[in-house]
Structure 1
């Protein structure tokens, strides 16, 4: 198919969302946000976390007088009910320079890394546990058989005492113990 001058041509679209609308909410001050919620590494493509929907949103109008969050939805992509987030078109107040933000971010990273353990240290053994573990490691199969043979008479005595029937077959107090198994019958319907 050849292209002729009569063929429709696609209109050049704007690269970014540009609107004159501004949110009625107060401006976001960058100094009041945690430094980890701001990304100013590429100043012309700056992004920050929207405080309402907790998503990363670009800042539009970086070369204009008014910078604001781009309009965005708070729901998931592709959902039928796309609801505009309250933080859309909210103005940004630049009370923080890029070097100040970078310093605040490095300070926050240092503070967070100082709170985290760098190495997991094993719990120290008590002397009794250490002695038991060493004795278990030193046991051989022949030593285990010798230990078992030493315990067998005590086990036989315990079994013998369990098998003895106490004097008298009826408890001193209370009803007689039934000697036949009871099988309850269900009522007929």
Structure 2
């Protein structure tokens, strides 16, 4: 099918629709879903996450014999193409009560919060690092200037020693350089 400018768009939908159609897919059992994907706080406005399009969909027929997902599209209203989701009109099997769902949700929240770190602890210092940091904290600006001046004096002495050239034709602390070439005779 080619896409034209006349393609239908998903239109604004009612949250509750009344239809006798039922999906041929097997019924959704609430006990097999994650407790966080079910919303039963207000049974009159119950909803759950559709496993195909992963959007929150209301449950219709809460007062009747058959509860099912509201027919819905896969895309956003007035933006995406009007493609009906496979999970539309799918029956819902309430195999758990609202207090059981509430307890499962509370347990899931407790388990998730126990996995998260509550406080960030700083990394322990080695004794040498700790000693260095404490010494740095106790130093004053005058002490730092004295240390810097001492370092400058040491650097100046080292530079002057590097500039010295050895006296004569031989390097310091090395054998003399031969002036005649060596020839091997037989």
Query: What's the TM-score once normalised by structure 1's chain length?
Result: 0.73
Deviates more, 1:69-78 or 1:141-150: 69-78
**1:148 alignment partner in structure 2:** 148
Report 1:123-138 matches (<5 A): 123-138=123-138
Alpha-carbon distance, 1:159 to partner: 4.1
8 Å contact 2:16–2:58 — kept in the other structure?
Answer: no
In 2: Cα distance, 1:164 partner to 1:65 partner:
104
For residues 70-119 of structure 1, give each alpha carbon's deviation from its aligned partner in whole angstroms, at most 9, with x where no partner exists: 01111123215122111111110111111111111111111111111122
Kindly indicate whether residue 139 of structure 2 is the aligned counterpart of residue 139 of structure 1.
yes
* Aligned residues: CA RMSD: 2.2
Partner of 1:49: 49
Residue deviations 1:133-155 (CA, integer Å, cap 9, x gap): 11111111110111011111332
Match status 1:88 vs 2:103: no
* Residue number in structure 2 paired with 1:110: 110
* SS class of match (1:58): strand
Counterparts of 1:115 and 1:45 in 2: how far apart (Å)?
A: 32
Give the structure, 1 or 2, with the largest relative contact order (CA under 8 Å, sep 6 or more): 2
Moved beyond 6 Å, runs of 4+: 161-165
Q: 1:163 to 1:68 in 2, by over 3 A?
A: farther
**Residues 38, 48 of structure 2: 8 Å contact kept:** yes
Using structure 2 for the length normalisation, give the TM-score. Answer: 0.74
Task: Tell me what 1:17 maps to.
Answer: 17
Conserved 8 A contact 2:15-2:70: no
- What is the distance in 2 between the residues matched to 1:39 and 1:88? 18
2:182 corresponds to: none
